[in-house]
Structure 1
């Protein structure tokens, strides 16, 4: 199956194991959500896919090829884009400079997030949390990546901008994987959205978003 996947993945931070043999698959040209509270392993799973944390066991597979030993920079060169929860923009550069690094013609970013236009001369480090998320997501949208991994894409955004963000991510012709604490309201009945719920480093649910919604709120919301 094309896309990216973890197969029996284990990740250790010193003596602590953060992922306990996690298996999940995010298909190409679709939106996959990794759900879980802080400490559940969702961010670690995202970073394992990106190659920014090494596996202590198992494998990372991309389009049928084992990339477990492929370094993060090489995965990025091949078309994988990671937007971390923190430090996702160049704080000392202006909004204009951040966007120009992603693409010389960044008009699409200002169409996607018109709120950024008056902020173009501002240094990115002076923006609010939600504004920085818009900028970080804009850079990802401009990258035309094959795989887009985003940790808490809508953090700090208003409900309207958060909904717009998920519209943009859902429209990408890419394998999109996001990590969230709760399933965004606009995704709860979408049959094309795949959800994995993690708890204490293990997958406790995998299926369509609608299936999770019918189960009712669990520990992850």
Structure 2
């Protein structure tokens, strides 16, 4: 199974955010979209989910053009988008958030044991990292066929961030995540990487190829990766 963009263009008013982007994410597998703020990585996720319309190009899922399929129908077919913000229901408790996905949420507590003590708390009172744990656990419980996650480990401790990527990499779904720089835990994993800059793809390949390319071409995102300055509590983008 693959979900892809083909020569996709997205406009926000007079500004074009994606300039003919082509990329494909296979399943099972982990695909990472890298780029600084304004690079277009979040827009790619939203375009795949149907949250923003294309002004050109196509979204193809399992060989079928779904460009005109609305977001709620893509969700019904098994696509789950976890946005960077407002990914949980703040007025509901942690338990109620989990029960919206399934009454049997034991797997969520196995994935993120700290959630157990937070079950009676309102989700809106949790820290940023705790909310990301809750949002990711709900997404994993949903058994989505395609899982799109913007800044999955924002606000998490390095240990919990590593655990999160281990869970995502072990998923049988097509998993696409957006990050500012390549997480160290993925350096030696067979993750597919696309680097975006100003709405265009400037690199595609395996993580180790990105690092090799950076040593010769000076890729900004990979330079940050080589310096090791990555943690779950970095700024969003």
What TM-score, normalized to structure 1? 0.98
The CA distance in 1 between the partners of 2:133 and 2:143, in whole Å, is 16
Q: How does 1:1-221 map to 2 (within 5 A)?
A: 2-190=1-189, 192-216=190-214, 218-220=219-221, 221=224
**CA root-mean-square deviation:** 0.8
- Secondary structure at the residue paired with 1:145? coil
The CA distance in 1 between the partners of 2:34 and 2:127, in whole Å, is 25
The CA distance in 1 between the partners of 2:165 and 2:93, in whole Å, is 25
TM-superposition CA deviations, 1:73-105 (whole Å, max 9, x none): 000000000000000000000000000001110
The CA distance in 2 between the partners of 1:23 and 1:193, in whole Å, is 18
The CA distance in 2 between the partners of 1:178 and 1:154, in whole Å, is 10
- Secondary structure at the residue paired with 1:100? helix
- Secondary structure at the residue paired with 2:220? coil
> Which structure 2 segments of 5+ residues have no match?
225-237
The CA distance in 2 between the partners of 1:110 and 1:218, in whole Å, is 38
The CA distance in 2 between the partners of 1:160 and 1:28, in whole Å, is 26
C-alpha contact 1:189 1:213 (8 A) present in aligned 2: no
The CA distance in 2 between the partners of 1:75 and 1:196, in whole Å, is 23
TM-superposition CA deviations, 1:137-165 (whole Å, max 9, x none): 00000000100000000000000000000
The CA distance in 2 between the partners of 1:43 and 1:25, in whole Å, is 15
C-alpha contact 1:91 1:125 (8 A) present in aligned 2: yes
- Secondary structure at the residue paired with 1:85? coil
TM-superposition CA deviations, 1:16-61 (whole Å, max 9, x none): 0000000000011000000000100000000000000000000000
| Runs of 4 or more above 4 Å deviation | none
What TM-score, normalized to structure 2? 0.91
- Secondary structure at the residue paired with 1:19? strand
The CA distance in 1 between the partners of 2:125 and 2:211, in whole Å, is 38
- Secondary structure at the residue paired with 2:115? helix
The CA distance in 2 between the partners of 1:218 and 1:116, in whole Å, is 38
The CA distance in 2 between the partners of 1:88 and 1:138, in whole Å, is 11
The CA distance in 1 between the partners of 2:85 and 2:211, in whole Å, is 29
How far the C-alpha of 1:3 sits from its partner, in A, is 1.1
